[in-house]
Amino acid sequence: MNPILLSSPHLGSEELRFVHEAFTTNWIAPIGPNVDAFEDEFCATVGAAHAAAVSSGTAALHLALRLAGVGPEDEVFCSTLTFVATANPIAYLGARPVFVDSDRNSWNMNPGLLIDALQYRDRLGKLPKAVLLVHLYGQCADINPILDICDRYEIPLIEDAAEALGATYKGKAPGTFGKMGIYSFNGNKIITTSGGGMLVSEEPTLMEKARFLATQARDPAPHYQHSEIGYNYRLSNVLAGIGRGQLQVLEQRVAARRHNFETYDQALGELPGLVFMPEADFGTSTRWLTCLTIDPEVFGCDRESIRLTLAKHQIESRPVWKPLHLQPVFADAECIGGEVSEQLFQRGLCLPSGSNLTDADLQRVISVIQDMYDQNCQS
Ligand SMILES: *Cc1c(COP(=O)(O)O)cnc(C)c1O
C-alpha cells in the first residue's frame, strides 16, 4: 500500500524551464531575473502593488514586524490558533505576543475579542505595536472589522497568508488588506519553491527597505558599510524559477484542494459527530487542508483514535494546530479568550489534502473513517 501524505509538493510542467534558464544564463546567485519576474507575476496574481521574494514565510514575517517598528518589550497581538512560525519572529525581535482566540465561523481571530481588547488597552494607554492576523487552512479571517479597529488606533495590521494563497475575502486576496502581507512557498503549502516566501505591501518604500534588510543592510558605498543590522533572507534565482512555474498552476491547485474537501464532505459529512470546517460567507477558502472536528461522545471515538487508525493504513493525518497559548515556549504569554481554539485542537483533524491525490486515495481515506463508524470504533 502506498502511503498517503498530508500535503506533498506538486510540480507542474514549466518549473524546469525557468530553472534551466537560470542554469544556462549562470544566474545561480540569489537575486536575478527570475526573482524580479516572480515578484511581478506574484503581484499580478494577488493584486498587490509591491513584493519582495525571500527565503521563507518566516523570514517575510520577521521583516514585516521589523518594518512595522516592533522591537524589544513591545507587544504584538497575534492569532493563537496557528503554526508556531507565525509568532516566532515576534520573539526574534525581543517583543511579546498577546494571543487572541478564534471564532467558530472561520476558526480565525475573533474580531469582537480583538475590538474589546484594543478598546481596553487604549484606555490603559497600552496599545500593541502591531496586530498579526492569520488566515488559517486557506480560509480568510473576517478582515474588515479587524482592519477598521487597527486603523482607528493606527496599529499596523500584518497578514499571515502563508496558508491562504488563492483564497478571497470579498473578492480580494488575503495579504493585500493590511500594511503588509506574507506568503509561504514551503514544501507543504499550496504552491512551493521547496522553500521560500513573499512579502507584499502597497508602499514601495517598505518593500525597498525589505530588500535592503534582506541583503545584509548594505549602505550605498563601494566598500562594505552597514548602519543597521540586516539579514540574509533573499530568495535564490533558481528557486524563484520554480515559483514562476508554480504560479501558472495556482488556480488548478486550489481547484484540486477544493475537490478534495467536497469529496470528503459528501462522503462523510452526514456521519454523526463529524463536522467539517465551515466556509465563512465573506470569502472562498482554498481548502489548503481539509479539516474536521470529531465529537467523541457522538461519533463513538475521538480524534486520536481516528488519526492512529488512519496511520495504521499508511495514511497521514494531523491534529489541528495546537494553540500557541498552550505551547510550553509561550507559557508566559497572555491570551484573550482561548476556549474555542482549545476545543478545535482537542477535536480537530486535518485529512490528506495534497492537490496530487487521486480519487482512489481519497476513497481509501474515506473508507477507513466510514468503517470505524460502522464498527462503532471497535476495530
Ligand atoms: C508555513 C507557515 C508559515 C511559515 O512559512 P515558512 O515558509 O515555512 O517559513 C507561517 N505561518 C503559517 C500560518 C504557516 O502555515
Range of the domain at 200: 14-247
**Residue 24's pLDDT is what?**
87
Backbone region of residue 107 per phi and psi (left: phi > 0; alpha: psi in -120 to 50; beta: other values): left
- Ligand 1 pocket test, pick from 136, 158, 186 with the greatest ligand atom count within 8 Å of Cβ, gives 186
Cβ of 162 below 6 Å from ligand 1: yes
Cβ of 57 below 6 Å from ligand 1: yes
d(CA 142, CA 339): 19
Q: What is the mean pLDDT of residues 131-160?
A: 98
Q: Smallest Cα–Cα separation from 29: which of 221, 199, 241?
A: 241
Distance from the alpha carbon of residue 7 to the mean position of ligand 1, in angstroms:
14
Domain boundary among 188, 214, 247: 247
**Residue 28's pLDDT is what?**
79
Q: Are 140 and 106 in contact (CB under 8 A)?
A: yes
Distance from the alpha carbon of residue 134 to the mean position of ligand 1, in angstroms:
10
d(CA 54, CA 211): 9
**Residue 60's pLDDT is what?**
98
How many beta carbons lie within 10 A of that of residue 214, not counting itself? Answer: 25
CATH of the domain at 113: 3.40.640.10
Question: Is the residue at 113 inside a domain?
Answer: yes
Residues 50 and 192 in one domain: yes
pLDDT tens-digit map of 264-306? 999 999 999 999 999 999 999 999 999 999 999 999 999 999 9
State if pTM tops 0.95: yes
d(CA 291, CA 8): 16
d(CA 263, CA 129): 43
Supply the angle between the helices 15-24 and 237-248 in degrees, to the nearest 10.
Answer: 150
- In this structure, the residue with its CA closest to atom 6 of ligand 1 is 57
pLDDT tens-digit map of 252-264? 999 999 999 999 9
Joined together, the cell numbers standing for residue 365 give: 481515506
Cβ of 86 below 6 Å from ligand 1: yes
Residues 243 and 256 in one domain: no
CATH of the domain at 366: 3.90.1150.10
Residues 130 and 196 in one domain: yes
Distance from the alpha carbon of residue 115 to the mean position of ligand 1, in angstroms:
26
Cβ of 184 below 6 Å from ligand 1: yes
Q: What is the mean pLDDT of residues 30-56?
A: 95
Joined together, the cell numbers standing for residue 372 give: 470505524
Question: Is the residue at 60 inside a domain?
Answer: yes
Total tally of structural domains belonging to the chain: 2
Question: Is the residue at 379 inside a domain?
Answer: no
Which residues, in sequence order, are bridge partners of residue 283? 169
d(CA 167, CA 279): 11
Cβ of 163 below 6 Å from ligand 1: yes
**Residue 22's pLDDT is what?**
87
**Residue 74's pLDDT is what?**
98
pLDDT tens-digit map of 81-118? 999 999 999 999 999 999 999 999 999 999 999 999 99
The gap between the terminal CA atoms of the chain, to the nearest Å, is 19
